C-alpha cells in the first residue's frame, strides 16, 4: 500500500490539489505531518474537486510514520559523496515499488524549503524529478502528480513477479547486524565508520531485498 506523506504543508489549496491528483491516478492514502493549514477548508475542498473524500479521511500525525519503506522526494540532489541525496528518478522508483506489497510512504516536503537533511535521513532513499537546472524546484502538487503518474503507469501493467519483500522490522534487524560487524572493524576515523553505516542503510533501502534474500544475508552476517 502506497501513502502520500506531506511534511508540514503550508497552503490548504496545495493540499487540495494533491488530493485531486491522487484521485486521478488511483491513490487514496494521504498523511499530513504537523500540517500548518486546514486541509478541510473551503479552499482545499474546492481545489480537490471530486477528491473531497481523500481530504476527509486524511490522517494528521506529529511525525513521519514508521512504514516498511519511506522514500524522500527532493529537488536538491547531491553527488556520490552525499549519500542521503543520491536519488533515483520516478520511473526507477515505480519499477521497484511495483514488485512489492509492503507499506510504502512517498514523503514530500514543505512548499517553502522541502525536507530537511534530518527528515531525508529517516527515509530509505530519495527520488528526484529531472527538471531544468535553472529552476529545478516544482510546485508540490505538480511533483506529486509526476511521481504518481509513473507509479500508476507501472502498477497498472500485468505483473510477472510479485515477491515478498522484507518489512521494517526485518530491515532494522539487518542494519543492526551490519552495524555490529562494522563496529568490530578498524577505521581511520569515526567519520569513516559513520559513512559506512549511512552507505549500507541506503543500499539496503534501495535494494528492497526479498525475504529469502534478506534471511540469507542476515545468516551470513551472523556467521561473519
Written as nine digits, the cell of 222 is 551472523
Are residue 181 and residue 148 in the same domain, yes or no? no
Are residue 49 and residue 110 in the same domain, yes or no? yes
Are residue 38 and residue 133 in the same domain, yes or no? yes
Are residue 132 and residue 67 in the same domain, yes or no? yes
Are residue 22 and residue 77 in the same domain, yes or no? yes
Give percent above pLDDT 70 in the chain: 92
Written as nine digits, the cell of 96 is 521497484
Does some domain include residue 42? yes
Question: 124 and 87 in contact (C-beta within 8 Å)?
Answer: no
Q: State the pLDDT at residue 134.
A: 86
Does some domain include residue 26? yes
Are residue 140 and residue 195 in the same domain, yes or no? no
Nearest to 106 by CA among 14, 16, 33: 33
pLDDT digits (tens, 9 = 90+) for 168-180: 999 999 999 999 9
Does some domain include residue 210? yes
Q: State the pLDDT at residue 158.
A: 46
Separation between Cα atoms, residue 101 and residue 67, nearest integer Å? 12
Does some domain include residue 160? no
Domain range spanning residue 48?
Answer: 2-155
Residues of the chain scoring pLDDT < 70: 77-86, 156-163
Are residue 116 and residue 140 in the same domain, yes or no? yes
Statement: the pTM of the whole predicted model exceeds 0.75: yes
Last residue of a domain, one of 129, 155, 181: 155
Q: What is the CATH number of the domain that holds 110?
A: 3.40.1280.10
The number of distinct structural domains making up the chain is 2
Separation between Cα atoms, residue 217 and residue 201, nearest integer Å? 14
Are residue 111 and residue 52 in the same domain, yes or no? yes
pLDDT digits (tens, 9 = 90+) for 24-69: 999 999 999 999 999 999 999 999 999 999 999 999 999 999 999 9
Does some domain include residue 47? yes
Q: State the pLDDT at residue 136.
A: 82
Amino acid at each position: 500500500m502506497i501513502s502520500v506523506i506531506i511534511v508540514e504543508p503550508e497552503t490548504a489549496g496545495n493540499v487540495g490539489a494533491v488530493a485531486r491528483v491522487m484521485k486521478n491516478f488511483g491513490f487514496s492514502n494521504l498523511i499530513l505531518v504537523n500540517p500548518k493549514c486546514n486541509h478541510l477548508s473551503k479552499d482545499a475542498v474546492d481545489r480537490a474537486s471530486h477528491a473531497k473524500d481523500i481530504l476527509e479521511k486524511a490522517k494528521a500525525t506529529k511525525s513521519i510514520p514508521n512504514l516498511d519503506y519511506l522514500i524522500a522526494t527532493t529537488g536538491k540532489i547531491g553527488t556520490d559523496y552525499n549519500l542521503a541525496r543520491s536519488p533515483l528518478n520516478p520511473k526507477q522508483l515505480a519499477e521497484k515499488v511495483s514488485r512489492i506489497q509492503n507499506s510504502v510512504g512517498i514523503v514530500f516536503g514543505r512548499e517553502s524549503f522541502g525536507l530537511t537533511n534530518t527528515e531525508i535521513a529517516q527515509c530509505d532513499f530519495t527520488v528526484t524529478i529531472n527538471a531544468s537546472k535553472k529552476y529545478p524546484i516544482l510546485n508540490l502538487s505538480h511533483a506529486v502528480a509526476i511521481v504518481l503518474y509513473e507509479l500508476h503507469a507501472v502498477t497498472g501493467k500485468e505483473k510477472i513477479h510479485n515477491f515478498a519483500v522484507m518489512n521494517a522490522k526485518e530491515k532494522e534487524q539487518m542494519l543492526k547486524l551490519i552495524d555490529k560487524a562494522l563496529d568490530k572493524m578498524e577505521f581511520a576515523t569515526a567519520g569513516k565508520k559513520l559513512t559506512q553505516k549511512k552507505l549500507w542503510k541506503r543500499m539496503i533501502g534501495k535494494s528492497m531485498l526479498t525475504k529469502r534474500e534478506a534471511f540469507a544475508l542476515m545468516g551470513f552476517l551472523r556467521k561473519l
